[in-house]
Amino acid sequence: MALQKTLSWLLLLLLTLLGLRLVQPSYGQNMYQRFLGQHVDPTVTGGNNLYCNNTMKTQFSCKRFNTFIHENIGTIISICSTTNIQCKNGKMNCHAGVVKVTDCAIMGRTLPPKCNYQAKASTRRVVIACEGNPLVPVHFDR
């Protein structure tokens, strides 16, 4: 009797997990959300060292390098409709645009939460990879 109950619970759990899996957004949507979280911050126009310290410290390790784009998402999505160029991995779904950014580079060997960053705010050419229909940014290339 107890075993049967346990099995029913396990079955229910399995079905729940399968259900969650089915309603998850598609791979491209996940990548898009990840891109937004990791690389887009329209709330500021440029960051300093403290900005990088604070925005990067939620990671499990201190990421070596990260770029934040300080533009509205609409502006970034419009870069996806420019001419295709080659990405670093050889694929042809990259696009270039000039945007306001903060490049955060790690200084020395540090561990969270003491990630020590050097910030460089500038307006520069960035290259992003886009996917989907409509095209959305899914990867920061360079």
- The site for ligand NAG (CB under 6 A) is made up of 49-50, 53, 114, 116
Helix (H) or strand (E) holding 64: none
Q: Is 70 a residue of the active site?
A: no
61 or 81: CB nearest ligand NAG: 61
Distance between CA atoms of 130 and 6, rounded to whole angstroms? 46
Distance between CA atoms of 142 and 139, rounded to whole angstroms? 9
53 or 66: CB nearest ligand NAG: 53
Please list the residues that pair with 129 across neighbouring strands: 94, 139
Of residues 39, 70, 95, 100, which has the active-site annotation? 39
37 or 113: CB nearest ligand NAG: 113
Residues known to be catalytic: 39, 139
